[in-house]
Structure 1
Amino acid sequence: MYHTWMRYFTPSPAHHRLGLVCLGVGLQHGALPAVGPRVLDHHVAVVISAGRGWFRGADGRRRTVTAPALLWLTPGVTHHYAPDPDTGWDEAFVDFTGPATAAYADLGYLDADGPVVALTDTATARTAIGRIARAARQGNPFLEVETAAAVHELLVALRRVRADTGADGHPVLQALARDAFQPLSVIEHAARHGMTPAELRTAVRRGAGCSPKDYLLGIRLGRAKELLVGTELPVAAIARRVGYDDPAYFSRLFARRVGTAPVHFREQQCRSVPGGFTDRIPDPSRPPTIPPSAPADDGRRGGG
């Protein structure tokens, strides 16, 4: 016995320009029938929240699936899977496609080589899938855009709950972020972690989808932008604060990555922040607000 609900969508060419589009969503549980063997022309994320079963990919190897887990179904690749008939499982699936899938694959969010992924939990992924299910109501004029946004959210949620990394990514990434503003080379960063440069590159590529140099550069330039906008520090002082002893080299890097020189970036923003920036993240339930002005005393208030 099993229960199933699903909807399928046909986004227009204009919606495909969003980068990702949702083609369908489904919620199922119980002793579902086997799927495949089959080949699809798009991606599917199958999130298993409870139960167990098996999966067989193009290599013919049968893998055990134990919740919480994720099945990646990749375009052009044969797949065949089913829950255990004695226990069944609880699954939610999302079909999606679009040119942005290539970038997500390069960044490590989609893994064709690892079709069965152990997860730590499925709550955040199910929340994103729930947004798609709610958007699927008849006559919703925002259907394609809402569901496309939720697919992006789903891919991030699934990346965060992979069992082989923490919620904040690989520990090496956390350490690199902590030390990002120190004037250290990639070789020196690797030595700090007892790794060769090649091992560090592999770890960062797997965790962040880029090289250690690009990972550090992104963090440094983000902080440099904050200092350019929120302070009156000279560019040379900002360069030193974010890890560059040579201000001219920093300015060239900034211009190459941002598209404009640091001084021009500061001029474009045209913001005055007398109190300066803070690293403290606001509580979303209590965002910063402008306090109400005190009533002016026009001399007409009565005495007691």
Structure 2
Amino acid sequence: MSGTRPERWQWRPVLTPKEPHAGLSCTTLGVRDVPARGAGPRVVDHHVALVLLSGSGWFSWGRRERVRVGAPVLLWLLPGIPHRYGPGGTGWTVCFAGFTGAAVTACARRGLVPAPDEDENEDEVVVPLTSAAPARRTIRKLATVCDESEPAFDATSAAGLHELLATLRRSRSTPPTRPLAAVEELTHSAHLPISVAEQARRLSLPPAALRDEIRCTTGCNPKDFVLGTRLNTAKHLLATTDLKVSSIARRIGYAEPAYFTRLFTRRVGLPPRAFRRERRPS
């Protein structure tokens, strides 16, 4: 995952024995062009969030008739359900993220992904977006931070995927009818220098209820989830900016840079400066 990303790229992780323990685990990421011809039927064995960055055409799934689609739009490829598509004109440019894990069911209950019985619900499978840029940025960030060799990969992978799901919810052209889940609020405010107990108070939840909600949805406790979100941002900033380590520490919620450096080294396996040297282009 080192170096800069070209405009078109794809990444598939080599899954490790840790992977089954993660709440959500990444299976594929990328940005690529899709030629202007029909394809399918195809079936995936995991959820894939496919975002049209440019282009238009048609999409169908299950026994549904073709639906006209045009960028920016989110298309859900659901496990076990055949899908077909036909880009028109010069084709599509898409970004995408695939994932699986024990927390998918909880994410479906909270409206972050389509539930299995919603494959016939067009509003849940074909989702117009106000802009595709936030999703593309988040997928690029996720590709920057995913590294299965890290000791805390399961927590950082889950946190990065939930950030993507929250971003997709906020990018909908029409607000979702379901209330925001606690995990989305925790993702949004993870970089604030506040405790988990204060997070619970801000959400008007007892601390025990917040712990149960986060563990059920992500497979992590709130502390590990917040830490994973912060580390993802730190790794992304180290790899893509020239910000000082002290500035990055403050930006993600740590007032003491030395503490951040010790924490980062223990969780990632490299000190921040060594991580930057490894991930930056020559």
With the shorter chain as reference, the TM-score category is 0.5 to 0.7
Find the counterpart in structure 2 of residue 207 from structure 1.
Answer: 179
Task: Return the TM-score normalized by structure 2.
Answer: 0.56
Find the counterpart in structure 2 of residue 266 from structure 1.
Answer: none
Find the counterpart in structure 1 of residue 172 from structure 2.
Answer: 162
Q: How does 1:238-277 map to 2 (within 5 A)?
A: 257=209
Aligned-pair identity in percent equals 35
Q: Which runs of 5+ in 2 are unaligned?
A: 1-6, 183-196, 212-249, 257-282
The change in CA–CA distance for 1:70 and 1:285 in structure 2 (over 3 A counts) is same
By how many angstroms is 1:92 displaced?
A: 0.7
Bigger-Rg structure (1/2): 1
The change in CA–CA distance for 1:35 and 1:142 in structure 2 (over 3 A counts) is farther
Find the counterpart in structure 2 of residue 132 from structure 1.
Answer: 142
Q: Give distance in 2, aligned partners of 1:131 and 1:109.
A: 19
Find the counterpart in structure 2 of residue 153 from structure 1.
Answer: 163
Retained in 1: the 8 A contact 2:21–2:154?
no
**Structure 1 residue 117 and structure 2 residue 121: aligned?**
no
Please, which of 63, 83, 100 is the counterpart of residue 97 of structure 1?
A: 100
By how many angstroms is 1:159 displaced?
A: 0.7
Say what the alpha-carbon RMSD is for the aligned residues. 3.8
Find the counterpart in structure 1 of residue 3 from structure 2.
Answer: none
The change in CA–CA distance for 1:87 and 1:15 in structure 2 (over 3 A counts) is same
By how many angstroms is 1:45 displaced?
A: 0.6
Q: Give distance in 2, aligned partners of 1:286 and 1:93.
A: 26
Amino acid corresponding to residue 122 of structure 1 in structure 2 = A
**Structure 1 residue 7 and structure 2 residue 17: aligned?**
no
SS in structure 2 of the partner of residue 95 of structure 1: strand
Q: Give distance in 1, aligned partners of 2:53 and 2:199.
A: 42
Retained in 2: the 8 A contact 1:49–1:68?
yes
Number of aligned residue pairs:
190
Please, which of 77, 80, 86 is the counterpart of residue 82 of structure 1?
A: 86
Please, which of 60, 71, 92 is the counterpart of residue 64 of structure 2?
A: 60
Q: Which has the higher contact order (CA 8 A, sep 6+)?
A: 2
Find the counterpart in structure 2 of residue 277 from structure 1.
Answer: none
> Deviation digits for residues 39-96 of structure 1, max 9, x if unmatched?
2211001011111121011123100111100010111111111311x23221011111
Please, which of 64, 69, 75 is the counterpart of residue 71 of structure 1?
A: 75
Q: Give distance in 1, aligned partners of 2:198 and 2:147.
A: 43
Retained in 1: the 8 A contact 2:76–2:126?
yes
SS in structure 2 of the partner of residue 207 of structure 1: coil
Q: Which runs of 5+ in 1 are unaligned?
A: 170-202, 211-221, 228-241, 243-252, 260-283, 291-304
Amino acid corresponding to residue 157 of structure 1 in structure 2 = T
Amino acid corresponding to residue 113 of structure 2 in structure 1 = L
SS in structure 2 of the partner of residue 153 of structure 1: helix
The change in CA–CA distance for 1:35 and 1:8 in structure 2 (over 3 A counts) is farther
The change in CA–CA distance for 1:96 and 1:254 in structure 2 (over 3 A counts) is closer
SS in structure 1 of the partner of residue 138 of structure 2: helix
The change in CA–CA distance for 1:75 and 1:155 in structure 2 (over 3 A counts) is same
Q: Give distance in 2, aligned partners of 1:90 and 1:34.
A: 15
Amino acid corresponding to residue 14 of structure 1 in structure 2 = K
By how many angstroms is 1:13 displaced?
A: 3.8
